[in-house]
Structure 1
């Protein structure tokens, strides 16, 4: 496998990141995970915009332009013979780079940018989920960023696995359902589509935004509302969204069956058409 590191493509086994890199030592950085279809990174502009906004939030200057990063993604797909792959995953990681020991920011940071590209498996047809112990903290500055520290999410996913569930559902500090370990949540109540509000506890996902934009065009009312665990298990349907898997229905939460909602399939079909259109426009 080949990677793109700080402007050059190299074999993954030969690429070197400084042992003093703050991304490795402190989780001081951001990342984006993107779906590529037939050599095109889906919603690349939106992902790079989120990365730039996040970098601005943490006081980090992105050392490459969006055009340079877009070209890097395309070159890396070709270098890994993935330009014709129906599904590939691109992971772009940005760190503050190497620095002296301690927490203080380096006076002249030298950011590290790493991009990887691998084949992506088809999304699951459905998922089961379990509500887990780790909570999303709306007061944390990193809660709304695609930040490197993901230990809470890792532990949440492992707890779900121990409960024989495929995905973890995390509550916020007030006890409302926030999101999955790496996905946003939607539920159906009758003909209305609901998703937890963007008030600091969730990462506002790229696919989440696309679904909220698509819904009105299909005659579906979509709203942001607080969702309690009790409200979730009584829902008329539910699904998760992220950039790699798109929309995946939830079939069970904490062992309780969640009905399949036909409107989820309608949204999924519309989303697939949106992906096709986005690829043709690039």
Structure 2
């Protein structure tokens, strides 16, 4: 059984999540009265535990923590981000986990206003390691994403577009990436070092239902220079169009709006 922590809990100083980034997290949208995709988030965290060799966590505890977090944070009636954190628990000095890890779970919530403007993007120097399992998981080791976002803010942009070590597009610092060229939808393939985002999957499904051609590809940043439209997706922003990328500008595109509506149904 995992240790469950309330909103104001502190993790001990020997916790492996704190010391080594050994763990996972999920960020989900509280709509004001529900977490509509909670089960999908818990399923992804469960799969992540299998990949990392962590014991299964208690789904009932996790569900209860997530549902309680908005009220505990005073956000029960509003739009909020709920973050569920799972660490590998306490361990001795060094890299080796205990023979029987005892993971810890905690959840907290914070207000998450709806984005009202398109996003300005820049190309980050910080790369994703496509050969690492962590590149396809929401692990607690997120420093590359932190550095990429810092690059974007320093450049006067809102968000960074990241590449892998081969120069292929991967994602934004905290979102999946899509673009439209000749009315065909493109997104980086998972093997490029991409998180299999839940909204990403819904957008792809919605596009195919609308009979839009979809390609998951390995392409360089020049693909965005040729695009009609670019947009980002994650559980908090839904589908958010881009306005600029490295000197290129994008106007509204009807397909982006159709996908936004279909993916959020």
Structure 2, unpaired ranges of 5+ = none
Is the CA contact 1:206–1:243 (under 8 Å) kept in the aligned structure 2?
yes
Is the CA contact 1:39–1:74 (under 8 Å) kept in the aligned structure 2?
no
Hey, what's the Cα distance between the residues in 1 that align with 2:19 and 2:6?
Answer: 24
Task: For residue 122 of structure 1, report the CA deviation from its aligned partner.
Answer: 1.4
2:70 aligns with one of 55, 58, 77 = 77
The SS at the match of 1:143 is: helix
- Partner in structure 2 of residue 279 of structure 1: none
1:19 aligns with one of 10, 13, 27 = 13
Hey, what's the Cα distance between the residues in 2 that align with 1:69 and 1:16?
Answer: 17
Query: Mean Cα displacement is larger for which, 103-112 or 165-174?
Result: 103-112
- What are the equivalent positions in structure 2 for 1:1-282 lying under 5 Å apart? 6-7=3-4, 9=6, 12=8, 15-65=9-59, 67-85=60-78, 87-272=79-264, 274=265
TM-score (normalizing by structure 1):
0.89
Kindly tell me: are residues 219 and 63 of structure 1, through their superposed partners in 2, closer, same or farther at Cα, counting changes over 3 Å? closer
- Count how many residue pairs are aligned between Structure 1 and Structure 2: 264
Runs (4+) off by over 6 Å: none
- Post-superposition Cα deviations, 1:142-200, rounded to whole Å, max 9, x if no partner, equal 11111111111111111111111111001111111111001111100122111111115
Structure 1, unpaired ranges of 5+ = 275-282
Is the CA contact 2:6–2:106 (under 8 Å) kept in the aligned structure 1?
no
